[in-house]
Structure 1
Amino acid sequence: MNTPSTKADDILRCARALIVRGGYNSFSYADISGVVGIRNASIHHHFPSKADLVRRLVAQYRQEAEAGLAELERNVADPLEQLRAYVGYWEGCIADASHPFCVCAMLAGEIPVLPEAVAVEVRAHFRRLSAWLASVLERGVAEGRLTLTGSAGDNAEIFMATVHGAMLSARAYGEPGMFGAITRPLLQRLAA
């Protein structure tokens, strides 16, 4: 059963959409106020500063990502299929524009100007995703499903950078299909 949305949830949802569209510095509380239909003071009641809002948003995003990876682990045993499912999730999100860009990937480009509390959350997301990818790659090699050149950790970073770069290319070209054109060869190279 879904719980009713609170104003804080509405604010977080709006901030997420604004960050995905343009990053941390592309919006203000006035932008959120106009979309959510509340005064700036009400936003400050829930989130005293923009840094508080975005830190909470990234923490929430990390929890969602963690839950998604755990579900993937439960439902898909084969390491190669786990990687395909991960890429497929993003390919679908980009194609239907439901989540056209990773929040943390968008914010990572702004790390030098982000408040430290937000940067810490963004880095934690990257570290966790890299660790998960490395574990999948290690399992895939052990099971004879994947072939790597170099360490699993290095390949995890390459995989993550390729997926995030493919998001960027799809956005830059205005072509959702560009994401798959970039990620499919990566999966083919990894398959044993």
Structure 2
Amino acid sequence: MSATTADRILDAAQAIMIERGYSGFSYADIAEVVKISKPTIHHHFPSKAMLARDVVVRYRENIRLSFTHLGQMVPDPLGQLKAYVSYWETCIREKTTPFCVCALLAAEMPTLPEEVGAEVRDHFRELAGWLAKTLEEGRRRGSLAFGRTAALEAELFMATVHGAMLAARASGEWMVFSSVTTEVLRLLQTRT
């Protein structure tokens, strides 16, 4: 099944936003990548803000599906955290998706249109919620150990992963991400 024009536009917009941010892309950039006219893009997405919002909405839907699938495939909470980190490590190493689009957009929060900013905030709330639930379940099962609340530990974990993405991007070395995230996972494991 081939992707619809709207899907191809969303794919291109997401890739360009990951590379350049919200303020660094235009409909002309997307038209060049997708090989369509700017009016065709406007037909599907009347404004840049609507396009960016829809990119984030779709991204959030995919993340929710991924977490559901992950929970079914990897029942162990520590294994889920390792799989989450491994996903990003692979994306960064192979340069397929070298940065979380919501983390990148969060850096532009003061200048984002409200509808885009709201979706980005909701992404972080959902991610923190999933992490807190996963961390708490790991603590309950005895595979994870931490002295803070699960909510605070989730915020620390999320900030560490996103900070490691940024450090890897700045250094041009994917191993920076791997080193930092390996250590944060090690610190969470129960010491025997």
Q: Could you tell me how far 1:160 is from its partner in structure 2?
A: 0.4
- 1:40-94 CA distances to partner (integer Å, 9 max, x unpaired)? 1111000000001010110000000011111110011111111111100100111
Selected match of 1:161 from 159, 162, 165: 159
Compute the displacement of 1:149 (Å).
Answer: 1.9
Partner of residue 187, structure 1? 185
The runs of at least 4 consecutive aligned structure 1 residues that moved more than 2 Å come to none
Mapped to 1, the partners of 2:56 and 2:144 lie a distance apart of 32
How far did 1:36 drift?
A: 1.1
Give 3-state SS (helix, strand or coil) of 1:145's partner.
coil
Provide the rounded CA distance (Å) in 1 between the counterparts of 2:16 and 2:108.
14
Equivalent position of 1:70 in the other structure: 68
Distance 1:14 1:46 in 2: 14
**Fraction of identical pairs, as percent:** 52
What's the Cα RMSD here?
0.7
Helix, strand or coil at the partner of 2:105: helix
Question: For residue 133 of structure 1, what is the amino acid of its counterpart?
Answer: L
Where in structure 2 are there 5+ consecutive unaligned residues?
none
User: 1:140 is matched with which residue?
Assistant: 138
Whole-angstrom CA distance in 2 between matches of 1:36 and 1:150: 47
* TM-score, normalization by structure 1: 0.97
Aligned-partner residue type, residue 56 of structure 1: D
Alignment of 1:1-16 (within 5 A): 3-16=1-14
Deviations 1:148-185 (A, max 9, x none): 12100000000000000000000000001110111111
Uncovered stretches (5+) of structure 1, i.e. residues with no partner: none
After TM superposition, the score normalised by the length of structure 2 is: 0.97
